[in-house]
Amino acid sequence: MRRFTIVFSLCLLGAITLQAKEDREYTPFDRGIDAPNSLFIPKGTFGGGLTVSFNSFDIGSAESGYTLLSPVLTGINGSFNTFSIAPQVSWFFADNLSAGLRFDYSKTGLNLGNADLSLNEDLGISLSDISYQRQSYKGALTLRNYMPIQHSRRFALFVEARLSGAYAQSKNVRLDEGLRHGTYQDIYKAALDLVPGICVFVMNSVSFEVQVGVMGISWQKIVQTENQVKQSEIKRNGGNFNINLLSIGFGVNFFLMDKWHRPVKK
């Protein structure tokens, strides 16, 4: 019995040693992200893009207000407009990896002549002579990594880290029985965001992209002055990890490649 136990133990030890040797001979799993044929945008490329949007609405008139939801929201007249522009530049210091600068400017304006809100027969609110203006300036440093889809030269996913700082001003003015009431705000903000997206080249040097913010750490301070007398402030900081539908952005980028990667006429 003792001899059988010794022989069995030796066989088991030999099987474990052989299995360990076979495990060492296995080929390591390679996802292919860093494979040589995964080149999407080569080192030395300069990129640039511009996003512009503009919206303007004129609702109703002084003589006849517009009814948006009868009988709840009636007698509306006023105007609303937004404008934003966001240029950006980047340079690829390595294959598929770029560093860049981004600047965002936006302006929003609202002038409400009149609006009547009726919740029921006994409860109603009338708003008139309200003006709201806001301007914001934002600068950011970016670091972006492209990951081709199935080694494609046309489609790729990307992830962009964005360190930004912003300053905004807003003004809200209301006239009440000839008296002017106003609130002025200075807004300061800093953030570190992670923005993934998808990119497709529609031409050799022109790409279209869609991006959405999913994670960020932010700090914000608002200094408010009311009627040029009362002053107060609010500070906010925090982080999030979710899909922010309000941050979905569309853009077009142009790329200038170095002489080693430009198309050559034959």
The domain that contains 203 carries what CATH number? 2.40.160.20
Q: Mean of the per-residue pLDDT values for the chain? A: 81
28, part of any domain: no
| Range of the structural domain that residue 155 is part of | 36-256
For residues 200 and 250, the answer to whether their CB atoms sit within 8 Å is no
- Looking at the domain assignment, is residue 20 inside a domain? no
Reported as a pLDDT band with limits 50, 70 and 90, residue 168 is very high
Listed residue (163, 156, 160) closest to 144, CA to CA: 160
Distance CA 190, CA 164 (A): 6
Give domain status of residue 263, yes or no. no
* pLDDT tens per residue across span 23-82: 555 566 666 655 656 788 888 899 998 888 888 888 877 667 777 767 777 778 888 899
Q: How many separate domains does the chain show?
A: 1
List 233's β-bridge partners, or say none.
223
| AA identity, residue 95 | D
**What pLDDT, on the 0 to 100 scale, is given for residue 180?**
79
| 265: in domain | no
Position 151 in a domain: yes
3-state DSSP: the chain helix, strand, coil percent, rounded to 5?
A: 10, 65, 25
CA–CA gap between residue 221 and residue 67 (Å, rounded): 38
Q: How far is CA 48 from CA 88, 98, 192, 210, 248, in A?
A: 6, 12, 22, 16, 19
Looking at residue 11, what is its pLDDT?
Answer: 59
Quote the distance between the C-alpha of residue 196 and its chain's center.
9
In a domain, 150, yes or no: yes
Question: How do residues 97-132 score in pLDDT, each as one tens digit?
Answer: 999 999 999 999 998 888 777 777 667 777 778 899
Residue 78 within any structural domain of the chain:
yes
pLDDT at 99: 96
Residue 143 lies in a domain: yes
